């Protein structure tokens, strides 16, 4: 379940597990914990696996970046 960058670093597409070929849009910019287009989130308003996957992915990006540059001025690379 590898997140795909969308139009913003806080917005990602995550391949659907139950519907191959489809994607869910995760927007981490929405408070408090992010928003997803899947049924888990839209119906139950709970933090779904897609949001967790994107949070983990973004965290790994930041950690990788911080390992090479402890004082980055941006995260677009």
For binding to Zn ion (CB under 5 A), which residues are involved?
A: 24, 36, 38, 41, 48, 50
Nearer to Zn ion, 28 or 36 (CB): 36
The C-alpha atoms of residue 55 and residue 3 are separated, in whole angstroms, by: 10
Task: At 72, list the tokens.
Answer: 């980055």
> Cα–Cα–Cα angle for 73, 36, 23, nearest 5°?
95
Q: What phi and psi values does residue 15 have, to the nearest 5 degrees?
A: -55, 135
Nearer to Zn ion, 22 or 69 (CB): 22
CB of 42 to Zn ion, least distance (A): 8
CB of 49 to Zn ion, least distance (A): 6
Nearer to Zn ion, 11 or 50 (CB): 50
């Amino acid at each position: 379940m590898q997140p795909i960058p969308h139009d913003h670093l806080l917005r990602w597409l995550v391949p659907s597990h139950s519907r191959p070929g489809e994607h869910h849009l995760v927007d981490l910019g929405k408070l408090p914990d992010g928003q997803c287009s899947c049924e888990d989130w839209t119906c139950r308003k709970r933090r779904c696996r897609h949001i967790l996957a994107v949070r983990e992915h973004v965290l790994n990006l930041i950690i990788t970046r911080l390992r090479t540059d402890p004082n980055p001025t941006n995260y677009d690379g």
